[in-house]
Amino acid sequence: MKTDASPPAPTAAPRRDPVARRVREVPASGIRRFFDIINTMQDVISLGVGEPDFVTPLHIRQAGIRSLQEGHTSYTSNFGSLELRRAIARQLEGLYGVSYDPQDEIIVTAGVSEALDLAVRATVDPGDEVIVPEPSYVSYAPCVVFAGGVPVMVPTTADQGFAITARQVAASITPRTKAVLLGYPNNPTGTAVSRQELAAIVRLAVEHDLLLYSDEIYARLVYDDWEHTCVAALPGARERTVLLNGCSKSYAMTGWRIGYAAAPGEILEAMMKVHQYGLLCAPTMSQFAAIEAIERGEAAVEAMVEEYARRRAMFVDGLNRLGLACARPQGAFYAFPSITATGLTSEAFAERLLYEERVAVVPGSAFGPSGEGHVRMCYATAYEKLEEALGRIGHFLEGVTRGQGR
Ligand code: PLP
């Protein structure tokens, strides 16, 4: 007999957390919160975002456009186009004397971000430790955690110029250590590490059979005759190093999403597997633009570096005059002054400076506990805006001093 009673509602099982524990345990980036606030404000001078203020040089943009007009709209090889890999290999050989086979030792990725993620995921087993200097780029530790590894943070201080030493690395090595993640010139400090110290770290890696991931995204942005040391070019390093670099910073191409990794074939093949199933290939149009950048972008790089150097000199001197002690960093485009004289935490300093003077900076604590007492200020911003920012920071500091009753 037919009834019109509706079927009983299913009994709900107790709710499980939909988010994986290893993701839940990683805090959201301390930088993002500030950008959300900035987006609601007007007349802000942003020294917050870590990217060039230049647009991509015209001839590079045109190469991307031309590739579309010519109909290059399909996938490339999973490794990236061979022409681009050959250009990368030539550049690495020419700049640092390190040689990679474009056929199977170079992979083109969606930014250094993806290259780093691939390197870690392809080589780290659950519980493996990765030594990471701190303060450091916000992605490093989460990247290791997402791969099931354990980041072992090594704090560095302003007194040591925020440059990690081989002695510190040695003290952090355990039987579970799989790799050391180096990122110099460094974000957020601008510090570079001497060739001698890097060579000593490589020797440790050889002695303990460790991998080295070397994020050299700021390699081209160095000043005062500082010569960048490519870690892979150091004696004994090549066979255990994943060299990471890309177009974002040196060619002002952050939005194009082109990075790459160069590594011995066995490691690269493993990275390719992860990349193949996750991403297929980096954007084709961007790969065409990257060939143009790498083959004919040198003049543009030199012009941009010259301008960053001019801003850096003026801005860092200005900060020191205002009483915010700041070393002249060797590379990247960040100043990382001490703000301890204000008595404020880096978070309070950044928040008040934003609300009271409309200057956006990033609290040093966003880059790890050892970044506390500092803020990151990106000087990839127009010279005049940097001058204006210094004026506003000076005004802010007067207010803080008055508030302290000094
Ligand atoms: N590595 C460092 C040290 C960075 O500062 C950044 C971006 O700020 C990246 C990697 C990410 O670069 P990409 O745009 O190539 O993904």
CATH of the domain at 76: 3.40.640.10
| Ligand 1 nearest atom to the CA of residue 215, by list position | 1
163 and 242, same domain (yes or no): yes
Instruction: Give pLDDT tens digits for 6-34.
Output: 788 889 888 998 999 888 988 887 677 77
Ligand 1: which of 109, 113, 245 to mutate, most ligand atoms within 8 Å of CB?
A: 113
pTM of the model: 0.94
Place of tokens 């012009």: 303
Q: Please check whether residue 107 lies inside any domain of the structure.
A: yes
The confidence score (pLDDT) of residue 6 equals 79
CB 332 within 8 A of CB 221: yes
Q: Identify whether the C-beta of residue 236 lies closer than 8 Å to the C-beta of residue 201.
A: no
CATH of the domain at 36: 3.90.1150.10
Residue 358 domain-assigned (yes or no): yes
In 3D space, the residue among 303, 292, 296 whose CA is nearest the CA of residue 256 turns out to be 292
Say if 10 falls within a structural domain.
no
Q: Is residue 202 part of a domain?
A: yes
Q: Is residue 345 part of a domain?
A: yes
Distances (CA, A) of 245 to 62, 92, 120, 172, 386: 23, 10, 15, 26, 28
- Look at residues 281, 296, 311 and tell me which one is the last residue of a structural domain: 296
Dump strand ranges (E) for 166-314. Answer: 177-182, 211-215, 241-246, 259-262
**Residue 404 falls within a domain, yes or no?**
no
- Distance between CA atoms of residues 398 and 406, nearest Å: 10
Domain boundary among 296, 328, 359: 296
Total domains in the fold of the chain: 2
Contact 187 CB / ligand 1 (< 6 Å): yes
Ligand 1 centroid distance, CA of 112 (Å): 6
* Domain enclosing residue 320, as ranges: 21-55+299-397
Residue 404 is predicted with a pLDDT of 75
Judging by DSSP bridges, how do beta strands 129-134 and 177-182 pair with one another? Answer: parallel
Q: Quick check: helix, strand or coil at residue 195?
A: helix
Same domain? 104 vs 220 = yes
**Which residue bears the tokens 């301008």?**
307
Taking a C-beta distance cutoff of 8 angstroms, is the pair 96, 214 a contact? no
Determine whether the shortest distance from the Cβ of 112 to ligand 1 is under 6 A: yes
Confidence band (pLDDT; 50, 70, 90) for 1?
low
Is the CB of 345 inside a 6 Å radius of any atom of ligand 1?
Answer: no
Question: Which two structure tokens, joined as six digits, stand for 33?
Answer: 């919160």
Asked if 71 and 214 sit in the same domain, the reply is: yes
Query: Which of the four pLDDT bands, split at 50, 70 and 90, describes residue 406?
Result: low
- Token reading at 63: 């190469």
How big is the CA angle at 295 (ends 294 and 298), to the nearest 5 degrees? 70
pLDDT > 90? residue 128: yes
Residue 234: inside a domain, yes or no?
yes
Percent of the chain with pLDDT over 90: 87
What per-residue confidence (pLDDT) applies to 286?
98
Q: For ligand 1, is residue 331 a contact (CB within 6 Å)?
A: no
CA of 245 to the centre of ligand 1 (A): 9
Q: At CA 329, angle to CA 324 and CA 334, rounded to 5? A: 75
Q: Does residue 256 sit in the same domain as residue 306?
A: no
Report yes or no on 175 lying in a domain: yes
Q: How would residue 200 be classed by pLDDT, with cut points 50, 70 and 90?
A: very high
| Residue 224 CA from chain centroid, whole number | 22
Domain final position from 274, 296, 318: 296
